[in-house]
Structure 1
Amino acid sequence: MIFLRGDESEQRRAEKLTRITDVLAERVDRLEEARGSAWSMFQAAIALEQEVQARTRELEQALADLSERNRELAITRAAAEEANRSKTRFLRAASHDLLQPLSAAKLFLSALRDTQLDPFQSELTQRLSGAFESVEELMHAVLDIARLDSQRIEFQRKPVELAQLFSRLGVEYAPMAEAKGLKLSFAPTSAVVESDPVFLRRIAQNLVSNAIKYTDRGGVLVGVRRRGDRAWLDVLDTGVGIAPEDRSRIFDEFQRIGREGGAPGMGLGLSIVRRACAKLGHAIALDSEPGRGTAFRISLPLLTPGVVPARTDAALPGPSLRGRVALVVENDDAMRLAYQFLLGDRLGMVARVSGGTAEALAMMGDEPPDVVIADYNLDNDDTGLQAIRALREAAGQPVPAIMVSARRDAEIGRASLELGVPMLEKPIRAEELQSVLQRILA
Structure 2
Amino acid sequence: MSSAATTPEAHTGSYYAATANPSPYRPPLMGEVRAEVCIIGAGFSGISAALTLAEGGIAAVVLEGKRVGWGASGRNGGQIVNGYSRDLSTIEGRYGKGPAKALADMSLEGGDIIRDRVARYNIACDLVDGGFFAAFTPRQMRELEHTKRVWESYGHTELEMVDRNRLPGIVETDIYIGGQIDHRGGHIHPLNLVLGQAAAAENLGTIIHEGSAVTRVEDKGHEVLVHTAQGMVRAKTVIVCGNAYLGDAVPDLTNKIMPVSSQVVTTAKLDPALLDRLLPRNQCVEDCNYILDYYRRTADDRLLFGGGVVYGGTDPASIEGKIRPHLERTFPALRGTKLDFAWSGNFALTMTRVPHVGRLSANVLFSHGDSGHGVTTTHLLGRLLGEAVIGRTARFDVFERLPYLPFPGGRALRVPLTVLGSWYYGLRDRLGV
Same fold by TM-score, threshold 0.5 exceeded?
A: no
Larger radius of gyration: 1
Specify the TM-score bucket, using the shorter chain as the normaliser.
under 0.3
| Bigger helix fraction | 1
| TM-score, with length taken from structure 2 | 0.23
| TM-score, with length taken from structure 1 | 0.23
